[in-house]
Structure 1
């Protein structure tokens, strides 16, 4: 294991164990390095790496603190990484992850979704049917999936899915332009998902969500 990686692991263990909590200030660099048996240089590199992924917050002239460790903050780093990898192969891998997570979110939502949330999803379906462009349809699609993730009741899952949605926008638009009946199919699948949610049938919602995401994944895979 590289020295810097070992330093990152040591600091991470302090956070995971609860020795360092969100908002806590790290000990002085010299003291922490001596305590962990690390060189100050390797500790400095570890702090730099952990600050880039928003685990640590380096405040000039004040010290280094453990961040809030909230999902929104930590997943922001993931969003940046995904923005850097927008090739078809990378997007295909993102779609594969969505095919795992989206159905899980739909199944969870089916168990707790509220009538007003069903109404909002149905309204999005109606708006999508009258969308004036593929870009507008994709916006409705993103909002639709965001609504289901929110209805799952798991804020971490909702934020993760929202982060994963970004890199797939270009593919969704291209599919809507080039694939026959893609628009009609999208709306029909949305309505099937809503029906399963309204009936509080988790496995049916999971199945329709899998079909829905897998369609885009298969289309992109066939182009490769």
Structure 2
């Protein structure tokens, strides 16, 4: 019953053209609209909240949620951690998926990278250089770099998926106390990617991406 009610609530969101942050009908109104029990509505809303489809604000009402891929990230990261403890190569698999996506896309980026996006990437690499001198490249800087890298492709879902794999790999490595990379190497690898993009050299950019992931591969092996 709960899954049926979830489907009806999602259909209602679509039919009314609601977007993140828009209010949903009250619990009592949903009971009447969907002709189901109050408990069924509550169970369905709790399940949808776990998927970030709705957001329950106690004392205020229920709203369309942020619709992020966070539940996917949590699921993928936990799956990788569990299988890693079982002796499986789950971290390699997670890294290989991310590497395949990025290496497959970087050539298209190199062919038509807007000057403003190149400027953003160069600025982030400069920040990495400064952070490396301080002893650690911040994860927020690395994340911002990889988000900016594919922005010019104009595919929001693709950006979210790439970011989800970045976050999942980072999260599981932190949970497993993976050793931190050499900050100077991290900086140089990202600079090589930007240098190749500035030269408009797609093949060189692909090679730079693979070298970047080779470093992650070596650390996982260790």
Bin the TM-score by the shorter chain.
0.5 to 0.7
Tell me: higher relative CO, structure 1 or 2? Use CA pairs within 8 A at least 6 residues apart.
1
Q: Which residue is 1:9 aligned to? A: 7
- Alpha-carbon spacing, 1:114–1:52, altered in 2? closer, same or farther (3 Å): same
Shift of 1:93: 4.7
Residue equivalent to 1:58: 56
Matched residue, 1:114: 114
DSSP 3-state at the match of 2:55 = strand
Per the alignment, residue 25 of structure 1 pairs with: 24
Aligned length: 207
Query: Partners of 2:24 and 2:139 in 1: how far apart?
Result: 44
* Offset, 1:109: 2.9
TM-score, length-scaled by structure 2: 0.65
Contact 1:134–1:173 (CA under 8 A) maintained in structure 2: no
Root-mean-square deviation (CA, aligned residues, Å) is 4.0
CA distance in 2 between counterparts of 1:168 and 1:60 reads 32
Partner of 1:48: 46
Alignment of 1:134-153 (within 5 A): 134-136=135-137, 140-153=141-154
Structure 1 residues 85-142: Cα deviation after superposition (integer angstroms, max 9, x where no partner): 7838365454234224333553443244223432443454455456225523766544
CA distance in 2, matches of 1:142, 1:129: 15
Give runs of aligned pairs for residues 38-187 of structure 1, distance below 5 A.
38-60=36-58, 63-67=61-65, 69=66, 74-78=68-72, 87=81, 89=84, 91-125=91-125, 128=128, 131-132=132-133, 134-136=135-137, 140-166=141-167, 167-168=169-170, 170=173, 174=179, 176=181, 183-184=184-185, 186-187=186-187
Judging changes above 3 Å, is the alpha-carbon distance between structure 1 residues 31 and 93 closer, same or farther for their aligned structure 2 residues? farther
State the TM-score, normalizing by the size of structure 1: 0.64
CA distance in 2 between partners of 1:164 and 1:43 (Å): 33
Contact 2:179–2:219 under 8 Å retained in 1: no
Shift of 1:175: 5.1
Q: Distance in 2 between matches of 1:138 and 1:207?
A: 23
Structure 2 regions of 5+ residues with no counterpart? 85-89
Shift of 1:56: 1.6
Equivalent-residue separation in structure 2 for 1:50 and 1:115 (angstroms): 41
Cα distance between partner residues in 2 of 1:191 and 1:78:
30
Gaps of 5+ in 1: none
Query: CA deviation digits over 1:41-87, x for unaligned, max 9?
Result: 233211111123321233445543334x5xxx523445565676783
